[in-house]
Amino acid sequence: MSNIALFSEWLNLLLRWAHIIIGIGWIGASFYFVWLDIAFKPRDKMNPGVYGTVWMVHGGGFYHVEKYTVAPAQLPPDLHWFKWEAYLTWVTGFGLLVLQYYINAKSYLIDPSVLAIEPWQAIVASLSSLLFGWLIYDGLCRSPIGKNPVLLAAILFAIILAATAMYSQIFSGRGALIHVGALIGTWMAANVFMVIIPRQDKAAKSLMRGEEADPSHGIIAKQRSMHNNYLTLPVLLMMVASHYPGLVSHQWKWIIVGLIVISGAMVRHFINLHDAGRHFKGIAWTLGVAAAAFVSAAVVSGVRPERSGDLSAVNDAEVMTIVNRNCVMCHSAAPSHEAFDEPPAGIKLEDVDELRRYAEQVRAQAVIGQTMPLGNETAMTLEERDKLGIWLDQQ
Ligand code: HEC
């Protein structure tokens, strides 16, 4: 492996590690505050201006937290703001997008059988979709539609489906799914950066000056915070979904994404209602809807187009012609492809025995999914994929 490849692999690993850790911090804090917010109870002895308190035990300590109806008479200067979790999750995520998908655009972002574009065009498409996606989302929330939460949610849902369909026409399957995640993740982080924190900051400043805070700050911050709450679980699934070849290559990704959004939002709804003290029996339907959406996504992903071309048996020589043309320049002991000094993922496909050994992975990557050949560099045809599939079935 060249030094540059080694460096970029470790930088990728470092960013991914940081992204996951910081993301867990963000999600953990937000789950905790949703729970906390509902847990306050008025008690006999409370400080002036306090609406309720919560008692907790954790890690060997006892904690007593107060919530003010509006705010305390005096705010201390060392008020803790939860914001870096959100900002850094986005920064590390964007870094990963650059490292994995922009720098290796030909391998991961572009699939010439979807749209033959140059890396710079794909990168411009990616950046502008994230920017305009935010402007559209933010504009809708600020518009009169934003006053109607149900209508707004329905429109945002339709936008997510349309974005998935659009990305599927521009990028590789993997590139498309990661962009749905990146788009929603950008909404969430920008909600914190552009709306929630600035509004809270304004409110805190007026309170510190001893003035009353404008109630609209709270209402607007709450709306965005609610969106983040319901988008958290779907976005997590979108981020890992690009590792599943069957999902990545599916022709109806927008339907699968829609079902995933419903499923994740319903699980979150269940947790919200459960935190609010609702009895399991009354809220179990939310889990039913989540499960139905999840199972439907699995069923839809199993629906594949009919095999094309000649469906007769495929012999060993024929399959090796296909594999030699599409795989062996990378997957051999000494790859002829300039980017590789050793077989990627340790997988060699130089004869039928090796092809049999990796049968299930090959099926997943090159027949059901279309993640291989990497970046579809050889422009592998559907007929070749079908023949490879038929040969694998015969084994
Ligand atoms: C341009 C180089 C290249 C070509 C051509 C190529 N691959 Fe790969 N393959 C890779 C790389 C790089 C990986 C490492 C994993 C990744 O990037 O996701 C990989 C990984 C794999 C894996 C393991 C994936 C996993 O995580 O389970 C399989 C299976 C595979 N390739 C099969 C094939 C088949 C079958 C073909 C031909 C139809 C093919 N590859 C063509 C570069 C290539």
pLDDT surpasses 70 at 308: no
pLDDT of residue 64: 95
pLDDT surpasses 70 at 310: no
Measured from the Cβ of residue 143, the count of other Cβ atoms closer than 10 Å reads 11
pLDDT surpasses 70 at 100: yes
Backbone angles phi, psi at 36, to 5 degrees: -60, -45
**What tokens were used for 130?**
């994230």
Torsion (CA) 179, 180, 185, 186 in degrees, nearest 10: 60
Report residue 340's pLDDT band, with 50, 70 and 90 as the boundaries: confident
Give tens-digit pLDDT for 226-267. Answer: 999 999 999 999 999 888 888 888 889 999 999 999 999 999
pLDDT of residue 290: 97
Domain boundaries, the chain: 3-34+77-302, 316-394
Going by alpha carbons, the residue nearest to atom 17 of ligand 1 is 374
Q: For the stretch 223-257, what's the b/e string if a residue is b when 16 or more beta carbons lie within 10 angstroms of its beta carbon? A: bbbebbbbbbbbbbbbbebbebbbbbbbeebbbbb
Q: What is the mean predicted confidence (pLDDT) over 93-99? A: 97
The Cα–Cα gap between 92 and 154 comes to 30
pLDDT surpasses 90 at 23: yes
**Ligand 1 atom with minimal separation from the 384 CA:** 38
Report residue 309's pLDDT band, with 50, 70 and 90 as the boundaries: low
Report how far ligand 1's centroid is from the alpha carbon of 374 (Å). Answer: 6
pLDDT of residue 78: 86
- Return the residue matching tokens 């829609």: 258
Report how far ligand 1's centroid is from the alpha carbon of 124 (Å). Answer: 27
Report how far ligand 1's centroid is from the alpha carbon of 330 (Å). Answer: 8
Cβ(347) – ligand 1 distance below 6 Å: yes
- For residue 283, the Cα-to-chain-centroid distance in whole angstroms is 26
Cβ(392) – ligand 1 distance below 6 Å: no
> Residues 6 or more apart from 186 whose CB is under 8 A from it?
90, 130, 133, 134
Measured from the Cβ of residue 268, the count of other Cβ atoms closer than 10 Å reads 20
> Residues 6 or more apart from 187 whose CB is under 8 A from it?
133, 134, 137, 227, 231
> Residues 6 or more apart from 13 whose CB is under 8 A from it?
none
Residue with the larger pLDDT of the pair 308 and 325: 325
pLDDT of residue 1: 62
The Cα–Cα gap between 363 and 369 comes to 8
- Calculate what percentage of the chain has a pLDDT beyond 70: 98
The Cα–Cα gap between 242 and 362 comes to 17
- Return the residue matching tokens 């994929």: 385
Q: pTM of the full predicted structure?
A: 0.85
Cβ(52) – ligand 1 distance below 6 Å: no
> Residues 6 or more apart from 257 whose CB is under 8 A from it?
160, 161, 164, 177, 180, 238
pLDDT surpasses 80 at 70: no
Give the C-alpha distances (Å, rounded to integers) separating 367 from 10, 167, 227: 30, 22, 38
Residue at 56: amino acid letter? M
- Return the residue matching tokens 């993301």: 23
- Return the residue matching tokens 């048996």: 313
The Cα–Cα gap between 173 and 247 comes to 8
Q: What is the mean predicted confidence (pLDDT) over 178-195? A: 97
Going by alpha carbons, the residue nearest to atom 4 of ligand 1 is 373
Report residue 294's pLDDT band, with 50, 70 and 90 as the boundaries: very high
Cβ(330) – ligand 1 distance below 6 Å: yes
Instruction: Please report how many Cα atoms fall inside a 13 Å half-sphere around the Cα of residue 287, on the Cβ side.
Output: 10
Q: Is it true that the peptide bond before 373 is cis, omega within 30 degrees of 0?
A: yes
Report how far ligand 1's centroid is from the alpha carbon of 130 (Å). Answer: 29
Give tens-digit pLDDT for 120-174. Answer: 999 999 999 999 999 999 999 999 999 999 999 999 999 999 999 999 999 999 9
